[in-house]
Chains A and B, each alone.
Chain A
């Protein structure tokens, strides 16, 4: 894929991919690395890839890169999320910090659908297509994820 299309895609989707990677790693720096690597790998793809397939491909690639990182030896040398937050917390608001910790407590299968639907603004149908899920499955994940998030958030706030 030529650099102009990759750059345009980066402008449009970089934050979405960054958040998806962050959901899996819990580390901002690692998420940034995964994001950059995902876009670099996008350059290897043929120009025939359509625009609507770019974001699903980027999310899948970022997810795989994050999993590779979690399996790697480098992961064992990084600091846990709590220590990281304590060292340089980007969220001044305590409730926001609790909400993010609550999201990280959710099973992985809930995180990405919730991000795409609630944060990025995709409809349930679009979310299902982006993640290659059935519509009912995506809706069910969102409904249950919201309940679990509420419960986890309240526990974090105590």
Chain B
């Protein structure tokens, strides 16, 4: 608990010390870390490896982007709409995909995500397909609870992202420490036994799936509204693999792992892009090395060796 507060405090203080560029990059990292935290709830704690989380991210992304540009929603309403959409989509998807398990689950989620990606293209009249939608600045300025908010403001955006990330971390901690969290971990470790102990395994898996999908959708909504763009690339398979990579790197089934992983991968890609164009190579090599040598990721390994208490 203390560690998590310290991380958030450090992120808060970072904006005073870091350069403008780092602040911008951290904003993006924090928004996407929410995506990774959502992913981790399903993958890390429940042991279900989805290859289709881009569809949830895209759900939030497009709910927010189309909600504001076509349906005339205000930004706060668009956030709410995106969360509801994420809830609905992940509920339906969960009911269907959770009938499969193991490798079949991975492929089914991948397939559904691909269908979602094509759907975005199919409704090109509204989504503008690959080219995407720009959310005008006029929409991103709004009044909320007596405040005039302008999402184009870098400082405001940073702190908003931080607040959202804080909520996501708190939510994740809360779940993990609750009874639900223990049951989810029990399912991951031994599904049959958990089921025989009298728990409705399917229902808990669905709960994890919906929480995970909804958080991902929320992250998508943040991304669209804060960075003013939604496009089909952000719904492609690449964006299903990103949260997997980030979570694996930072440490699956640790609360802070996804945050660390997201940040680290961003920094790695950014640094490397000054020297080489082999971004793909780097992502590939990191994935392979992780699987071979650090299947538990950075924080997972630290927990195993030193900090046994790490949630």
Interaction A to B? no
Where the two chains meet, the residues of A that have a C-beta atom closer than 8 Å to any C-beta of B are none
